A and B are shown apart, each in its own frame.
Chain A
Amino acid sequence: MSDDSPVLEIENLGISYFVRAGEIPAVPDFSLTLHRGESFGLVGESGCGKSTVAMAIMRYLGGNGAIVRGRIVLEGQDMAELSEEELRRIRGSKIAMVYQEPMSALNPALTIGRQLTEVPISHEGVSEAEAFDRAVQVLSDVNMPDPESVMRRYPHQISGGQQQRVVIGMAFLSNPSLMLLDEPTTALDVNVEATVIDLIANLRKKYNTTLIYISHNLGLIVKVCDRVGVMYSGEMAEEGTISEVFKDTKHPYTYGLFDCIPSLDADKSARALTPIPGQVSLPHERPPGCAFGPRCRYFEAGRCDSERIEIEDVPGGDSHRVRCVRWGEIDHRHAEVEVEPEDRRRRVPAEVLRIENMDKFYEVRDRSMAAMLSGKSVRYVKANEEVSFNARRGRTVALVGESGCGKSTFAKVLTGLETATKGAIKFNYENIAAIPVDRREPELIAAMQMVFQNPDGTLNPSHSVGGAIGRAIKKFGLAHRRRDVNKRVAELLELVRMPPEFATRKPRQLSGGQKQRIAVARAFAGNPAMVIADEPVSALDVSVQAAVINLLMDVQKEYNTTLLFISHDLSVVRYLSDTIVVMYLGQIMEAGPAAAIFDPPYHPYTEALLSAIPIPDPDIKQKRVRLEGEIPSVINPPKGCRFSTRCPRKIGSICDDVQPPEVEAVPGHRIKCHIPLDELRAVEPIFQKAVEAAE
């Protein structure tokens, strides 16, 4: 139910930052109109200016940012005319904001109750008692267990997901007219993220709040928003309802974004990920005309780079607008890139890695008096238990799971940073389970290398690119003289498609994607038989992700390397892996060929994971399976099935007491569950295409 007058009107907003070097026009022109009860998603990659716009609405741009053009009108009131005091009164009562990293948004030195009650007390002058009641009410609205005792706790005493719920509750406390959410779920696990998203959607309906949801994740936008706007380099490239933008895409950048994201029904053998070439230009180096022009496939000199391009309406649409001169002439559908079909008739390649019943336990000594007296002073963190699978030469195995599932521990054991407590790890038929890295031969070390998650931490900031790669080369014994080393460095840089002059650069001069490429070069320096990639693209923008994934796959093909890909992102995993292993709390719940994992039979945990992935396709119906609570602690886990405490399909006490057997659905596809296979096979698939509209 929409009111007639808009809640928010932004007209030709221009925001700039003023630094010593001059003016940086972060957002040159931005317009938006929102009516009551609407939910608008603002999508874009890092640096596009979406967070800047949010801060501008809150008028919190920091010391050197300023609105240089246009106006923001909130419920009929021009915000530029507000005094500081009036602005303060609006914040937290009429407009509220939620952003990422809930732990840092809450004050660690104050109780949660205090931080909640001060909002109505300071804005509406209510009494302490009434504020307390309202806070408790809002906590139960966000599904916090035992709200009254939570009021007395400090932020660090509750989990990340609960913290974010508190922050959301705090924002809804005064029933604001407008709510801004800036990537609120980035730091959360997939399952927790899904619950928070559901919560936001429900609360929005309940309070009829107008919402601006900012994210880089198109899948989340589909779940929460009615309309969406795609931002590029400070301007709105395309805007409209969800079905207009997602299914009737007009702008080349939007279409490029969709091309980068792996979809659920196509893997690497069917369709290639097409990254967007080039990089976003810096705000003060924006090209004339279309900002996306230099990277656009359909760029036409003379038309796309001459004058300012205004956003125009798409006829026939509800509120569909595009900022492109050529949108009417372009037909995206025929622009798909061909993929070389892989010759699957080759022999099944040799086994490179075989892991048999590996355990990794950490000892935890409880030094409290109580533990000493009861005799149970040594407890075990069973980080990995009964892990068994194998990997073949040239293939990709993905290890999937949420935080605490043991995948990082596994990587550490494999690379020798830790040694296994029990079991065998046979790498090229040699059992390396008990050999730590400092006792491994250089050939073995060179044969198994790793690419890490965080691009900012993966390269030593004091060493040049060439130095970092060169050191690896020298350490693996491939070359020693300066000349030879430099030659190999140049070869590797070419392999990862970076210009050779980058050898002298330092990491701070590189972007995130470039750093990861160097990390790939470094890992492949020794011609490894196996490379472990630990969430290598999670910290990168979508378009850069596609490029790095493609790179990894190309290099893998060239060297015929086995890739062990660790991730929590199931759509990426679906795209590039041959086999998928699903882990939960240190054990393997399900393992098998990639396609088999995504269709029934599912392990109940896999089912929950799949139901929680944000899918950027409004046509796909995704079954909802939500898990209660948080991941339990890994110290002394349940005796039976690890998942029994949260499993929605739990069949009884057998799940708590007895370790479930591993059943083979088809050869190569194992599920560890007590539920009979036939029942699992009969389960509804998670993903179903909705009825197609007529073309």
Chain B
Amino acid sequence: MIDRVSDRDTGEPVKRDPNVAPEDMVLWLLGKVYDGFNRILEILYYLIRGIYRWLSLLRESPVAIIGLTLIGFWVAVAIFAPWLTSYDPNAQDFNALADPTPGGVHFLGTDHLGRDIWSRLIWGARTVLWVAPTAVAIAYFFGCLMGMLAGYYGGWVDTLVSRISDIILSFPVLILYIILISTVGPSPLNIIVAVTLASSPGIGRIVRGMVLDLRGLEYVDAAKIRGETPFYIMVVELLPNARGPLIVDGCVRMGYTIITIGVLGFLGLGLPPPDPDWGGMVKDTTAMIVVWPHMAVLPSIAISSLVIGFNLMADGLREISMRD
């Protein structure tokens, strides 16, 4: 007989009888572990079911599938980078300089310093694929915060946030980046900060717009009448209903951010050499385009394909959400 933890009928906790033997205590403990285990399995089940549903939804849009494939390709390549190439991306192979074109040992060729392009591409993918999502995520956090506060409270909060957003947004974006990066120097952290600063107002504006649309709905009034706090209303009632457009915007913004990272690299404001940086690769090799176009073309294709992937996925998601 397993000791009941609580009386099923009255809900009162049942006191442990000190006269019960230790074996029963072990059984009781096992019971609790079993409950917890059940709970974890339940959560996992819902999670997997959610992902499965989401993936099968995706199937409806061929555009989204292509996008997902492209993204998936680069993610896989980035994860498995060490196993996909034997060349260090910064190592120079002087023998290859005689004929750096693709083919043979270096299947995508080498750049003007003899570094294997394929290695540089896949290691460069790693950098892009951790900097961009982090930057976008942090930007989203601040953007949602700003937008929700401005949209929900209105009044002076809204005016203040909107003014600040206007000031930041009135800076031509690239100029903002140039000034920031040239001032504080290039590094992944600085890039993340710059992207956050430049993107949050835009995200904030979208979120604010959505909150303004939603806050007049009856279920918000119902929540207020229940006595819910503004924090609860913003996070639990409003935010989940904004997720459709935000997800689509997220994909698009990822694309923009990757382009930005590429552009910064191209302008010489990217990561310091010799680390591979797709934009930087193009910058270094444009001069040689007349003789060896592949050196600049290949990284250009890389970055374009990744961004196309995100944008296609965004379009596909938008299509799917319209169809609902």
Contact = CB atoms under 8 A, between A and B. Distances in A.
Interface string A475-499: 1100001011000000000000000
A135 interface: no
A450 B218 CA distance: 10
Given A457-B219, A484-B11, A475 B228 contact: yes
B227 A460 contact: no
Interface string A411-422: 000011100000
Contacts of B241: 460-462
A453 B221 CA distance: 12
A452 B224 CA distance: 13
B155 interface: no
A472 B227 CA distance: 10
B225 interface: yes
B218 A454 contact: yes
A445 B241 CA distance: 26
Interface stretch (A122-130, A434-442, A562-570): A434-442
Contacts of A476: 226
A415 B225 contact: yes
A472 B229 CA distance: 13
Interface in B5-64: 11
B225 A458 contact: no
Contacts of B221: 417, 450, 452
Given A437-B224, A457-B219, A458-B218, 18 more contacts: A415-B225, A437-B225, A438-B227, A438-B229, A440-B227, A442-B227, A445-B225, A449-B225, A450-B221, A450-B225, A452-B222, A454-B218, A460-B240, A461-B241, A462-B241, A475-B227, A483-B11, A519-B222
Nearest to A449: B225
A472 B237 CA distance: 13
B184 interface: no
Q: Which one of A442, A458, A460 has the highest number of Cβ atoms from chain B below 10 Å of its Cβ?
A: A460
Interface of A: 415-417, 437-438, 440, 442, 445, 449-450, 452-454, 457-463, 471-472, 475-476, 481, 483-484, 519, 522
Contacts of A453: 218
Nearest to B228: A475
A457 B214 CA distance: 9
B219 A481 contact: no
B43 to A, nearest CB: 14
A519 B225 CA distance: 13
Contacts of B322: none
Given A457-B217, A481-B11, A417 B224 contact: yes
B218 to A, nearest CB: 4
A109 B218 CA distance: 31
A641 B97 CA distance: 97
DSSP majority for the B interface? helix
Contacts of A481: 11
Given A462-B240, A462-B241, A484-B11, A457 B227 contact: no
A456 to B, nearest CB: 9
A461 B240 CA distance: 9
A483 B218 CA distance: 28
Contacts of B229: 438
Nearest to A440: B227
Interface residue tally on B, bucketed by range: 10 to 19
Interface string B209-246: 00000000111011011111100000001001100000
A96 B236 CA distance: 48
Contacts of B219: 457-460
Contact of A471 (B11, B217, B226): B226
Given A457-B217, A460-B237, A437 B227 contact: yes
7 interchain residue pairs of minimum CB distance: A462-B240, A452-B218, A457-B218, A457-B217, A460-B219, A458-B218, A445-B227
B155 to A, nearest CB: 13
A450 B219 CA distance: 11
Interface of B: 11, 217-219, 221-222, 224-229, 237, 240-241
Contacts of A483: 11
B226 A445 contact: yes
Q: Which one of B218, B225, B227, B240 has the highest number of Cβ atoms from chain A below 10 Å of its Cβ?
A: B225
A227 B224 CA distance: 49
A123 B11 CA distance: 78
Contacts of A458: 218-219, 222
Contacts of B240: 460, 462-463
B62 to A, nearest CB: 14
10 contacts: A417-B221, A417-B224, A437-B225, A440-B227, A452-B218, A454-B218, A457-B219, A459-B219, A484-B11, A522-B222
A445 B222 CA distance: 11
Q: Which one of B11, B218, B228 has the highest number of Cβ atoms from chain A below 10 Å of its Cβ?
A: B218
A458 B223 CA distance: 10
B259 to A, nearest CB: 32
A25 B306 CA distance: 45
Contacts of A445: 225-227
A6 B137 CA distance: 68
A453 B218 CA distance: 8
Contacts of A437: 224-225, 227
Q: Which one of A462, A472, A484 has the highest number of Cβ atoms from chain B below 10 Å of its Cβ?
A: A462
A442 B225 CA distance: 11
A438 B221 CA distance: 13
A517 to B, nearest CB: 15
A461 B228 CA distance: 18
A483 B10 CA distance: 11
B159 to A, nearest CB: 15
A555 B210 CA distance: 36
A475 B226 contact: yes
A437 B11 CA distance: 32
B225 A416 contact: yes
Contacts of A417: 221, 224-225
Nearest to A415: B225
Contacts of A522: 222
B226 A472 contact: yes
A438 to B, nearest CB: 7
Nearest to A508: B324
B85 to A, nearest CB: 45
B179 to A, nearest CB: 38
A643 B241 CA distance: 43
A462 B219 CA distance: 11
Nearest to A467: B236
A307 B226 CA distance: 53
A524 to B, nearest CB: 13
A407 to B, nearest CB: 15
